[in-house]
Chain A
């Protein structure tokens, strides 16, 4: 048997997806279904006193805190929907309208009158806000601050220093499939067709809110139209649909309008980051200081781990990282692809480029010179770290050699041309999961409550199972996307393949060894024994941009990612995932920005016309490649997560290339053309 892991097996659900047969959450036919529409608060802070429904609007039910069923308090206060008169952000659900048709529901929601007492609000993140504080921990459970050596003394003594402040804007996950739920009750049993990244987790959460045993809630999540972090936990749509279905006694379909996704499903917090670096003339870093500010809402402390990535990246004897947070009358920020790493490295890798310029050292050489032998904080050895090889091999493939380090040197017609580089890193994680395998005749059925958001999980798990069982892939059927299957961890943190693949491998090997009809394997104990430090995927991003000398328009002519990300389980889906991350990184560098209206406490550009995500025409020459790495200390497959690393550092590579092209350092992302023109 030749191994199938590592071969470019095409996505198993491909034919269903290209013919329109694949069903997403809102697409399951239901007899007697009715439609819900969320009414969102028009003010960022205040109290809802009453609602007045228009009797001509033809609603079956109008739910608000005055009449909504009581729920058990959730761990995530955002799920305590319609439980109180308190309004904590603009866009918060304050009522839910249910009607026979979508058109009627929308209309009834539009004409619902809200009696609200508005209060003063505060929506603006700024570095001198008196409300800034140091959270106890940052996401998910890291210390807020770390320090070793004497950073201030080292900076004072350093012959070359950089002290810069970078800011990154609010970013919106914007998966193409809106968050959606169909809820149907049968007695005390609840079925949810829900778009999410974690069917097992959503079932447990929703059960808790309704005071049910977890097994009474059945979550079906066969296909998911992207999530990028925003579907990692239950969103208000799941609870509201279930609540409404209970009240009206019929199945309820609730799909978030695109506009609502800008306030209801999380976003990447805006950040303000001060980075101070000290170096010897030969480029050896003597001090690193990374201080990050982020925001959260009134109802939940979400503390993005923006500076945590700096703890793992470069050697320096004196170092400090820290986070401060501001609670505002704004929606809660949450996970978005590479939370922490993406904004942290966007800023840090640009600051490093500024240091290279000051030192007169090639930016790749500067990075190589500060390569640590082990974790820079704590000293845990790396299971594998081929960062320098990524830089070197990537440079060769990209054609870095001979680059004139001076900015604003290369002009072709109306275009200034420049190139830039930046590092990439993402932690390698695995989370407890359980898989089951059954022999069914000559074939095998593998079951695990995982979710495929477009990552290729279904396909890769089939490959992993086939190899572990020693059979061809066509004898394996993998079932995922259902909370009644053995419990799986969230499709997040680039940990899906490692977590689920481990459980699947365990179950298949066990079946093979015992020769029985069924085997179940739970990885909890194995994973709890694992070291968590020193485990990362690495990469390097290279960009070539051209900037129109007249208009300031930036085009990314070439973008290249070189990765060391463990064993690549399926080169076909892996390449797509790397490229997808890099393209989102391009959006972060050049296009994407939640623009705040301070008076309304709202992202002004809350739709896909105002919030520009990269389009076909934005993406020119782009490619990804990887080193032949395999890390057997991590998991039985020797793999690392790859879903997020593409967005880590790719924004900085582009911003650095823009500087190289134009001589302008844009320190507040995204690089809009006005920032380039006004700099002249």
Chain B
């Protein structure tokens, strides 16, 4: 177990245990710390990005107990014992996750700043599809991975570079693996 601590918080620190990318951590935390800031500022896991800090862009998307979430909207202390997977935990340059490979194969990014969030979101989304969960554009019997479905399901993740058209085939490729 790795123990982290936060300097100089004047109030009471809160204890929290988290499993991040398979490693168990125990922190004494400033209770105001968001999951995103914990990852970026205290664990050095800067793969999750901060684009807005308000749940409006999706750049901070990580998997929390397997579900995609905006980590900027989550207070770390509220996630006692949870398992967090960030983009760093999905794959490596040598052994990329199928979604990461899809993004590479289809040029699914430009500046790359939205990309870790897009990738984590796509991983979470594909799992939702596997569970048969509908989206806002689903009519029963539809292909849950049609272009329109992928676009709808990924619309919580903004990309100012406009790399969207290449992400659709990237995600479809990953879904087939």
B35 within 8 A of A: no
Do A616 and B164 touch across chains, with their CB atoms under 8 A apart?
yes
**Segment at the interface with B among A7-15, A394-402, A421-429, A529-537:** A7-15
Which listed residue, A178, A224, A582, A608, touches B162 by the CB 8 Å rule? Answer: A582
B114 touches A (CB below 8 Å): yes
Q: What is the interface of chain B, defined by CB distance below 8 A to chain A?
A: 6-10, 30, 32-33, 37, 40-41, 44-54, 56-57, 59, 86-88, 90-93, 96, 100, 103-104, 107, 109-116, 119, 147-148, 150-152, 154-155, 157-167
Residue of A nearest to B163 (CB): A576
Residues of B within 8 A of A56 (CB): 10
Let me know if B52 and A258 touch, CB within 8 A.
yes
Scan A502-514; emit 1 where CB is below 8 A from any B CB, else 0: 0000000000000
Contact A29:B44 (CB < 8 A) given known A17-B112, A18-B115: yes
Residue pairs across A and B with Cβ atoms less than 8 A apart, 29 shown, are: A18-B96, A18-B100, A18-B115, A19-B90, A19-B92, A19-B96, A20-B116, A21-B88, A27-B40, A58-B8, A101-B8, A175-B113, A175-B160, A176-B51, A176-B111, A177-B51, A225-B111, A226-B110, A456-B110, A576-B110, A607-B54, A608-B158, A609-B56, A616-B150, A616-B154, A616-B155, A616-B164, A619-B162, A620-B151
Query: Number of A residues whose C-beta is below 8 Å from B?
Result: 65
The docked-state distance in angstroms from the alpha carbon of A224 to that of B112 is 8
Task: Please name all residues of chain B whose beta carbon is closer than 8 Å to the beta carbon of A576 when the two chains form the complex.
Answer: 107, 110, 161, 163, 166
What distance in Å separates the Cβ of A57 from its nearest Cβ neighbour in chain B?
9
Q: Which of chain A's residues 622-657 have a Cβ closer than 8 Å to chain B?
A: 622-623
Q: Are A20 and B87 in contact (CB under 8 A)?
A: yes
For the complex of A and B, 6 pairs with smallest distance between CB atoms: A20-B47, A225-B113, A454-B111, A583-B162, A17-B112, A454-B110
Given contacts A103-B30, A103-B33, A454-B110, contact A21 B93 (CB under 8 A): yes
- Once A18-B96, A21-B93, A29-B44 are accepted as A-B contacts, the answer to whether A102 and B56 lie under 8 Å apart by CB is no
- CB of B113 within 8 A of CB of A10, answer no
* Nearest CB in chain B to that of A180: its residue: B50
Chain B residues with CB below 8 A from A617, complex form: 148, 151-152, 155
- Chain A positions 101 through 127: 1 when the CB is less than 8 Å from some CB of chain B, otherwise 0: 111100100000000000000000000
CB atoms of B164 and A258 under 8 A apart = no
For B111, the chain A residues whose CB sits under 8 A away are: 175-177, 223-226, 453-454
Residue A22 CB within 8 A of the other chain: yes
Chain A residues with CB under 8 Å of B115's CB are: 17-18
Chain B proximity of A580: nearest CB distance (Å): 4
Residues of A close to B86: CB separation below 8 A: 20
Tell me the minimal C-beta distance from B118 to chain A in angstroms.
9
Complex interface: chain A residues within 8 A of B45 (CB): 20
New A-B pairs, 10, CB < 8 Å, besides A10-B104, A15-B93, A258-B57:
A15-B96, A18-B112, A24-B46, A101-B8, A101-B9, A102-B41, A103-B9, A177-B113, A613-B158, A622-B165
> How near does chain A come to B170, taking the closest CB pair, in angstroms?
10
B8 and A176 contacting across the interface, CB-CB below 8 Å: no
In angstroms, Cα B103 to Cα A62, docked, is 44
The answer for the CA separation of A136 and B21 in the assembled complex, in Å, is 59
Is the beta-carbon distance between A583 and B32 smaller than 8 angstroms? no
The distance in angstroms between the C-alpha atoms of A573 and B108, with both chains bound, is 10
Q: Are A19 and B93 in contact (CB under 8 A)?
A: yes
Q: In the bound complex, how far is the Cα of B37 from the Cα of A22, in angstroms?
A: 18
Min C-beta distance of B46 to chain A, whole Å: 4
Q: Which of B107, B155, B161, B167 has the most CB of A within 10 A?
A: B161
Shortest Cβ gap from B111 to chain A (Å) = 3
Q: What is the CB-to-nearest-CB distance from A616 to chain B, in angstroms, rounded to a whole number?
A: 4
**Proximity string of chain A (83-98) to chain B, C-beta cutoff 8 Å, 1 when within and 0 when not:** 0000000000000000
Which residue in A19, A102, A575 is a CB contact (below 8 Å) of B87? Answer: A19
Q: Is the CB of A176 within 8 A of B107?
A: no
State A497–B78 Cα separation when bound (angstroms). 48
Instruction: Considering the complex, give the chain A residue whose CB is closest to the CB of B54.
Output: A607
